[in-house]
Structure 1
C-alpha cells in the first residue's frame, strides 16, 4: 500500500511533468533584431525591421518563399488577360482581420487608393507606377478612385496595368500592397500603425507589446488567420540588440534562438553547425548631399569613390560573405537571357580602388571650389557593423586623400532616417533592400522625383532613360536600364560599397524558417523541436 508521503511525492512529480510538457508545448521563438520598428502602417514603412514585422502580420496577394520564389498568399486563383494588362484574383473566402472582420477585395482597393493619394505621403507610392492611372494620381491630376484596381465582388479583385510589368507578382509582395481594414484606419487616423494597439492585421501573427518606441515586442499567433493550421508557433519574442556581443552571449546562454554576427564572430564561427550566411538582395552605399556645394562637385564625389578599397572591406573588415559590387544593382536580382544585370553592367574600372585617381580628382575638385582641404561628416547607424564600416571609411578617406578630415556620427536608425529626410547630412552610410525582382527597384531611387533621393542628385538624361524603359520590353528595356546604371555610376550619384550577407547563428531545433533575399524572414511555418 502506498504511504501518504509516497502519494504526495508522486502527485508532485506528475504535476512537474505536466508543467514541463505544457511549457515545451508552447512554441515560443526568441529572436534578435538590430533596430527598432519604425511603423506598422504599410504605406509609411522605409526600414527593414518594420517591413519584416509587416510581412508576418499582414498578408497580401503573394509572399516569398526561400530563394525568392513567389507563392500565393490570399490568392486562391489568378487569371491574366492575353495582353498582360489585366489580372483578376479570386481571394480566400475565409480570411479575417485580427478584430474578426472579413477580409474582402474592397480592403485592397481602399489600401491601394490610400497609398497613391498624395495626401497620405506614402513612402513607397512610386511602386504603384505602371498600374493604371497611378502616376497621374500621384501627380495630383486624377482622383485616387481612378486607380486601376476594383472589387468585382467581395472576393474578386481586378487590377489593370498601363503596361506589362514582368515583375508584377514579386512587386505586390511589398508591404505597401497589403490590404487594410478601412474601419480601423479611419478610427485611429494619423495614429494608425504607431503602436500595436492601433494596428489591425490579417496575417499569420499579430504584433503585441510594441508601444511605438520600445525595443521589445511579440508576434502572437492570429487566431483569426484563415490558414492558422499551418502556423505552429504560438509566439515570437523580439529584442533589439544593437551589439552582437550581447546577442551572442544571450544565444549562448539560451536566451535567444537566433543572433546576428559581427565580422569577427562570423570569421571565428564559420564552421559552427549553427552558422548560416543569408544572401541579401541589398546594397550598402554612400549617399551624398548634393545641396552642399562641396558634394555637388563631381570631382570630389569621384575622389571619395576611388579612395575606398572595397576588396579589403568585404574580405578583411566584413569577412562575412558580403560581396564587392560591380553595380548599384545587387547580383542575382534581375536577369535577361540568363545574363545577370549586375555582372553585365559592372566592370572593375567603374568602382575600383585607385589612390592616384582619387588624389587627382580631389585636387581638381578643391581647385574648382577654391579650397585647400576637405572636411566631411560621415553619418551612420549606431549598430556594431555600421560603426565598424564607418571607422574603416574614415581611415580610408583620410589615409588616401591628402588634406582630408573626416568625422563620424553614429545615431539610432530612426534619427538617421529623419535627418536624411530633412537633408541634414553631408555623406551618409545607408542601404536599400529590393522591393521586387527588377533593377528598377534600385535605379528608381535616384530619379529626380524619388522620395528616396535624399541627396537631391538630378540628371535629366537619367530620368529620360528610366521613363523610356517604362515603355519598353525585353532586350531593349534591359539595355536601357544598363545605360541608366552606367550614367549613375559615371556621376557617382551614390557610391556602392558592398552587397551584404547576413551572418547568423540559429538554434538547431528551429525548423522551416523561410528567408528570402527580398523581404527577409517569414515565420509562418516555423516549428520548434
Structure 2
C-alpha cells in the first residue's frame, strides 16, 4: 500500500494513507461501555461530542456550534449544528439525551457513569433510585440541548468533549442489539472517520474518511490503517521495511534511536500504578503491608534501567501537567516524597510488622499485567523487587490487554498493574477515580477523609478556587500516605515517524491523538 509511486493516481493514493502501530487490541466502540485508551482514541477519531479537544488544552466547536453558561454555573445551553450520522440520519439533541441516560442506567454498567454525577439526578439514576427520564439533560428542540447541573463544575466543558459524553443513535443501538459497538459494522459514526475492518477480535482495522461528517473538507487523510504489534523486534523490522509509518519503540531501542530525527518522545498524562485487591484479600487492607510494598520498589531504576523510554518516576497519582496554581504544578504541591521513594530497610521492617499483625509468616499472590513487551518487563521487575520482602512469593500472569482490563474491572485479581490517562487538565480527572464509590477504584481502597475532601472540592468549594485546590492537594496526600495504590511512573510515548508524515496532533490528556490533520509529503 505504501510502496511505489508511478502514475499520478497512484501517487495521490499513497499520499493520503498512513499505517499506524498500536500496542494493544481495540476493546470496544460502545460509548457507554468503553474503558481503555485505544477505544477512547478510536472513538474520538470516528465520533464527535458537543465540543472537541485540540492541542494546547483548547476546545473548539464540535456538534455544538455555540454554548452558553448561566451566571450561577448550573445551566448549560448548547446550540447544535445540522450534522449527520454515517447512515445519513440527523444528529440531534435527543441523541445526546439518549446516550447519557443509557450510560447512567444501572443495567448498562457504564464505568464512566460517575463522570455524570454533577448532572441533575444522575447519581440517583445510577443508584437505581430514579428513572433515567429524570436526568437533567433536556432536548428543548432538535438542535438545542439544555443541561442542568446540581452544582457548578468549571471543567464540564472539557467533559462534553470526551468520548463518554458522545451522542448515540437510539435507532442504531436497537438495530444492532447485543452486537452494538462490538465490530466496525455494528456502529454508526458522526466524526471525521468511519471504522472499517474490525471484527471485534482482530489486530488490524482502519479509519476511512466519513463523507457525512459536517466538516469533511478539513479531514486530510483518506485512510489510516492500524496494526497491533507487541514484539519489539518485529516493530523495528516493520518500520524499516516501510510497512509501518508510525511505530512505538520499547526499552533499549529508544537509546539506539536517540540521535535519530525520526524519534519523538511524547510525554503524556498516563500514570502507571499497582492496585491490590483490598476487597477480596484482607491482607492488603493492612497499611504497613501496603507501605512496605511501595517502599520496596526503586522507581528510578525501574524507569532508567528497565523501561528506558523517557518515562519518569511518579510523584503521586496525579500526573505532572494536569493543573497548576500560582506557577506551581499540582503534582509538585501534593508530592509526598516518602511515599514513592525506595527504602529497603524501612520496607522490610514494615513488612515484618504487617505480617505479625495479619498472623502470616508467608504469603503468595499473583501479579497481573499486560502481555506487551513493556507489560512483561514491568511485571518481572516488580516481581523481583517484591521477592526481596521475606516470605513474599509473587507469581506473574501476563494477559492480552482486553482480558486484563476485564479482569481488573470485575475484581478478578490479587495484584494488577494498571494505568490511567487524564481526560482533562484538572487534577479531579484522576482524584475522582479513587473515591470509595468510583467504578475505577478496582482495588476498593476506602478512606472517609479522602471521600470528604473530594466531595468538598466538587461541592461546597467548587466556586472557591483556592480552597478547592487545597482540598485536592490534601486528598492526594491522604492517598499517598495511606498507600491506597502504589504509584509507579508517568509514561512517555517513544515514537518513530517517517519523515514524510506530517500533521500529527498529540496532546498529553485523553484522547491523545487527532488524526484528522495527518498528511504525506512523500
Q: TM-score range by the shorter chain?
A: over 0.9
1:51 to 2:43 alignment: no
Equivalent residues of 2:336, 2:481 under 8 A apart:
no
Larger Rg: 1
Contact in 2 for aligned 1:67/1:517 (Cα 8 Å): no
1:21 matched residue in structure 2? 11
Q: 1:528 maps to which residue? A: 520
User: Matches of 2:517 and 2:427 in 1, distance apart?
Assistant: 30
- Give the equivalent residue in structure 2 for 1:475: 466
Q: Where do 1:17-416 residues align within 5 Å?
A: 17-18=7-8, 20-25=10-15, 27-93=16-82, 95-290=83-278, 291-399=280-388, 401-416=389-404
Alignment of 1:448 with 2:439, yes or no, is no
Structure 1 window deviating more from structure 2 (63-72 vs 276-285): it is 63-72
3-state DSSP class of the match of 2:331?
helix
* Structure 1 pair 305–271 and aligned structure 2 pair: CA distance change class (3 A): same
Q: Name the SS of the counterpart of 1:78 in structure 2.
A: strand
For 2:165 and 2:232, the matched residues in 1 are separated by 33
Distance 2:161 2:135 in 1: 19
Where 2:56 maps in the other structure, the secondary structure is helix
Partner Cα distance (2:225, 2:493) in 1: 20
**In the aligned structure 2, how far is the partner of 1:320 from the partner of 1:169?**
33
Q: Deviations over 1:95-137 (max 9, x none)?
A: 1101011111111111111111112211101111112221122
| 3-state SS of paired residue (2:301) | helix
Query: Equivalent residue of 1:388, what SS?
Result: helix
1:16 is displaced (CA, Å) by 5.3
Counterparts of 1:512 and 1:156 in 2: how far apart (Å)?
34
Shift of 1:19: 5.0
Distance 1:17 1:327 in 2: 56
Q: Which stretch of the first structure deviates more once superposed, 314-323 or 361-370? A: 314-323
**Structure 1 residues 255-306: Cα deviation after superposition (integer angstroms, max 9, x where no partner):** 0111001021112212211111112111100000112132222211111100
In structure 2, the residue matched to 1:510 is: 501
Q: CA deviation at 1:341?
A: 1.3
TM-score scaled by length of structure 2: 0.95
- Following superposition, the deviation at residue 68 of structure 1 comes to 2.8
Note closer, same or farther for the CA distance 1:346–1:18 as it changes in structure 2 (3 Å cut).
closer
CA distance in 2, matches of 1:369, 1:80: 53
**What is the aligned partner in structure 2 of residue 498 from structure 1?**
489
Residue in structure 2 matched with residue 9 of structure 1 by the alignment: none
Please give the alpha-carbon distance, in whole angstroms, between the structure 2 residues aligned to 1:427 and 1:23: 48
TM-score (ref. length: structure 1): 0.94
Specify whether residues 18 and 513 from structure 1 end up closer, same or farther in structure 2 by C-alpha distance, changes over 3 A only: closer
CA RMSD of aligned residues (A): 1.6
Q: Deviations over 1:329-378 (max 9, x none)?
A: 11110223332111100032221100111001111011112222232211
Of 62-71 and 121-130, more deviation after overlay is shown by 62-71
Whether the aligned pair in 2 keeps the contact of 1:244 and 1:259 (CA below 8 Å) is no
Distance in structure 1 (CA, Å) of the matches to 2:410 and 2:32:
19
Work out the number of aligned pairs and report it. Answer: 512
* Residue in structure 2 matched with residue 3 of structure 1 by the alignment: none
3-state SS of 1:206 partner: strand
1:479 is paired with a residue whose SS is helix
- 8 Å contact 2:84–2:214 — kept in the other structure? yes
In 2, Cα distance between the equivalents of 1:312 and 1:69?
Answer: 36
Larger mean CA deviation between 312-321 and 340-349 belongs to 312-321
Deviation >6 Å, runs of 4+: none
